[in-house]
Amino acid sequence: MPSSQRSWSTPRSRRRKLSRVKILYGVVGEGLGHAMRSRVILEHLVGTAHHEVEIMASGRAVNFLAKRFAGVNQIHGLHMIYDENRVKIGKTLWSNVLGGATGIPKNIAAYFELISEFRPEVVISDFESWTYLYGKTHRLPTISIDNMQIINRTTLPDEILDGHRTEFEVTRAFVKSKLPFCDEYFITTFFRPRLRKERTRLFPPVLRPEILTANRRRGDHLLVYTTGEGNAGFAATLAQTGLECRIYGMRRDLTAEVVEGNLRYQPFGEATFIDDLASCRAVIAGGGFTLMGEAVYLHKPMLAVPVVRQFEQVLNARYLQHEGYGRAADNLDDPRTVHDFIAAIPDCEASLAGYAQVGNEEIFAQLDEVLDLAAAGVIGRRAAGSRRRRPACWRRSNPRQHQRAQPPPRVPGKLASLRHDRCASTPAGASAHGRGSLPIAGSKIAVTAWTLDG
């Protein structure tokens, strides 16, 4: 569909009465984009639909969500290390190996404690592995909600992949192995490539309420968001534009605005940042999906500079340019990159004028429908009369054992049953939120290990 005609359909009216479901919700902690999206989904599930939700999160997502919800459990998750707008592969691998050595035993402890206490009926994962594994091993309806699955479950055009095919194949293999065989895949995106897999739905970006209620207007300043300090060359380029530039992230630890000519260095504050975004003429930032989706919704042209070796950001930036909503650049070393983008702003505004979405109503309505179906036993591992076979890509870690795995034996004491029985009391070591990462040294829990064949 041409960008001038791009819009998202208005959802059908939602059912008046929804089934109340116990949901295990997992959020990966790499960056804050997953947590910000999950915050909006969780507010709907808890506040509007009145479901009972238990949250498992890693990294920065833990503190972000714990400020807004009770029952946030910390669990170890993978992360990436960046330096000068590049992913440092060696440091990333080493850091994850060291963290995994201490984090994984805690994950297993929290995993078994949650089984015995909460007994969820549905699992929703925003690219988080442990909640997904719980759902699959317990044959629960499992729903994926994220933006990453678009790499594996759609067909991307050649002009998007040119020059990055190796990175694409590596990233697609990782995404494919992360959450395979979910019952439904909800993908958030501002572009719509052709679907190539079943059980896949595309939705516009999930927007936080502060963006939906922002006072959108056309100002004259550029909003610049960068996580790199210094970069005198880029600052000089911005000064040459003659436009007011409100800059976030270039100088950290600011407590007040610093003005140098047309450059206004800002301390970070969410309300101020959102107002500067809603009133700017254009945005210059990285290739992260969250800010890009917000800029598109607010009809703000954007110059996106993705992190090197981060294909998901390359994909976002290239599609931004493909749709006519902005421009993509590998770096900002050449001043002409910024000047050419400024000259292209009117064309980008014309393309953005055709983009429209009705808040988050579409994804809320369809998620409610899927949860109703899960509660009725229509979808998921516990569908009525159905005992679906374990996917062929899963095998026992012991190659001599190919028969169906049997439930772990009952264990006397607090964990009377790993599947259904509740603990008599909260074990020592639980977090202040109710369920934390518990030590399991000396326990007699029998663990059945499963590995992924690829």
Q: Where are the alpha helices (DSSP H) in 29-127?
A: 33-43, 61-66, 89-117
Q: Which domains does the chain have, with CATH numbers?
A: 3-206+360-375 (3.40.50), 211-352 (3.40.50.2000)
| Closest to 124 (Cα-Cα) out of 206, 67, 190 | 206
Phi, psi dihedrals of residue 94, rounded to the nearest 5°: -65, -45
Give this prediction's pTM: 0.77
pLDDT at 146: 97
pLDDT at 115: 57
pLDDT at 379: 87
pLDDT at 36: 97
Low-confidence stretches of the chain (pLDDT < 70) are 1-18, 76-116, 228-230, 381-454
Tokens of residue 394, six digits: 């899963």
pLDDT at 52: 93
pLDDT at 309: 85
Phi, psi dihedrals of residue 407, rounded to the nearest 5°: -60, 145
pLDDT at 391: 40
pLDDT at 315: 98
pLDDT at 49: 85
* Torsion angle, alpha carbons of 427, 432, 435, 437, to 10: -80
pLDDT at 402: 40
pLDDT at 58: 87
Tokens of residue 362, six digits: 């579409």
pLDDT at 227: 75
pLDDT at 384: 38
C-alpha 293/C-alpha 348 separation (Å) is: 15
